[in-house]
Structure formats: C-alpha cells, structure tokens
Amino acid sequence: MERRDYHYEVCSDGAALVMFGIRSNSGVCVRRVSSDFLEVDRLVRKCNRLQVSPIHLGDVVEDYCRG
C-alpha cells in the first residue's frame, strides 16, 4: 500500500466572529470547528502527527468536539 503524506492547516471563515477550521493538502476542509485558534491548532498538529486520512477528517473533528 502506498503511503501518502497528509498535511493539515488551520483555516478561517473571515466572518465577524472568526471561526477556525481545518484544511488538508488534498482539498478536504472542515469549517467552523471552533473560535479558539489554539484549540484548532492543537488538533491540526495531532492530525499531522498521526497522518489522519482526509476521508476520516470529519469524523475526527466530530469526535474531538464531543470529547
């Protein structure tokens, strides 16, 4: 199986109340995760470290927000 290098970064929506999301280098984006940049940045760093597949990003964010 070919190993891919996934990379994620924090993105923002630019609204009056800025909400941050996560965007992958493959184009997958989960918007409006949190208004706390540091919280989203921690999740991004964890996704990068664990090489989360973009097809699972939505589930990861959902579980993180519940937890």
pTM of the model: 0.82
The pLDDT assigned to 7 comes to 93
- Residue 2's pLDDT is 65
Residues 7-46 pLDDT 10s: 999 988 776 788 999 999 999 999 999 999 999 999 999 9
Three-class secondary structure of residue 53 per DSSP = coil
Q: Is residue 3 part of a domain?
A: no
Domain-located, residue 56: yes
Task: Determine the pLDDT at residue 12.
Answer: 86
DSSP-assigned beta bridge partners for residue 43: none
| For residues 33-60, average pLDDT | 96
Instruction: Supply the pLDDT for residue 29.
Output: 94
Residue 55, in any domain of the structure: yes
Boundaries of domain holding 36 = 8-66
19 contacts 12 by C-beta, under 8 angstroms = yes
